[in-house]
């Protein structure tokens, strides 16, 4: 299973532009938030001849669905999952922590497979100044610098009445500014926060088969709420 499918809440491709944004302040942004909904479309193009893979993730409350398709002729696949925890605590002192606990399950006639991912991150945050070229004002974007991340994934496979499982844990640390997520603040209320990301990256490589250009894009929107 692709890492991007397991860690759907983590996206660090930088910001793009959006037609309507809302200024915020530390008082509106701070607090403990719960991810209520999210839609995300991620595409990647690789190879020579090129193949484009598309993953569409939809989260609504405690339910998450990922639909994957490819131009290589393979069948479209759907993965369903449940969300046990998806919280984001943003402090006025410029620090934040984020925790997600999600389980994805695939059930077939002869076997079943599940992957539970528990991810905890922490770091610092700050508003980004205005950008006249992009028509973005002060406090319409926020930069989240990831300083530490721990992910524990437990895989369980069951076939013929026999189950096996495996657990792995990855821990990473980053310097300030090394791993930064940039969000556009679409709307900021006392109990609801809407964020958006639009990003793209590409690179070109040359080998004996010729020159290959690889690229990826991300377009996501999420709504966080306070109880």
pLDDT of residue 203: 72
Domain coordinates in residue numbering, the chain: 3-225
CA–CA separation, 124 vs 13, rounded Å?
A: 17
| CA 178 – CA 148 distance, rounded (Å) | 11
pLDDT in tens, 41-74: 999 888 777 889 999 999 999 999 999 999 998 8
> Would you call 113 helix, strand, or coil by DSSP?
strand
Non-local CB neighbours of 182 within 8 Å, separated by 6+ positions: 14, 15, 128, 141, 142, 143, 144, 197
| pLDDT value, residue 22 | 53
pLDDT of residue 134: 62
d(CA 191, CA 29): 10
pTM for this model (two decimals): 0.78
Structure tokens at 201: 């990256």
Q: What is the pLDDT of residue 41?
A: 92
pLDDT of residue 5: 36
pLDDT at residue 19, as a whole number: 34
List the one residue out of 208, 202, 218 whose CA is nearest residue 46: 202
Cα 69 to its chain centre, rounded Å, is 18
Q: Which residues of the chain have pLDDT under 70?
A: 1-27, 133-135, 208-210
Residues 32 and 30: their CA atoms lie apart, in Å, by 7
Contacts of 115 (CB under 8 A, 6+ apart): 1, 6, 103, 104, 153, 154, 155, 156
């Amino acid at each position: 299973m692709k890492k991007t499918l397991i860690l759907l809440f983590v996206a660090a491709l930088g910001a793009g532009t959006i037609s309507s944004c809302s200024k915020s302040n530390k008082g509106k942004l701070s607090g403990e938030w719960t991810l209520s909904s999210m839609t995300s479309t991620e595409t990647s193009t690789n190879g020579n001849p090129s193949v484009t893979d598309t993953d569409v993730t939809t989260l609504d409350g405690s339910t998450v669905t990922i639909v994957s398709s490819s131009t290589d002729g393979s069948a479209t696949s759907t993965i369903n999952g449940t969300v046990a925890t998806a919280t984001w605590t943003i402090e006025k002192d410029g620090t934040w922590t984020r925790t997600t606990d999600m389980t994805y399950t695939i059930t077939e006639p002869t076997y079943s497979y599940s992957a539970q991912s528990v991810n905890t991150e922490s770091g610092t945050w700050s508003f980004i100044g205005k950008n006249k070229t992009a028509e973005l004002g002060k406090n319409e974007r926020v930069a989240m610098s990831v300083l530490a991340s721990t992910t524990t994934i437990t895989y369980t496979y069951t076939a013929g009445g026999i189950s096996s499982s495996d657990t792995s844990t990855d821990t990473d640390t980053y310097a300030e500014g090394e791993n930064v997520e940039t969000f556009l603040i679409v709307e900021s209320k006392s109990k609801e926060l809407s964020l958006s990301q639009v990003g793209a990256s590409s690179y070109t490589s040359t080998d004996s088969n010729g020159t290959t250009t690889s690229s990826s894009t991300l377009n996501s929107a999420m709504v966080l709420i306070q109880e």
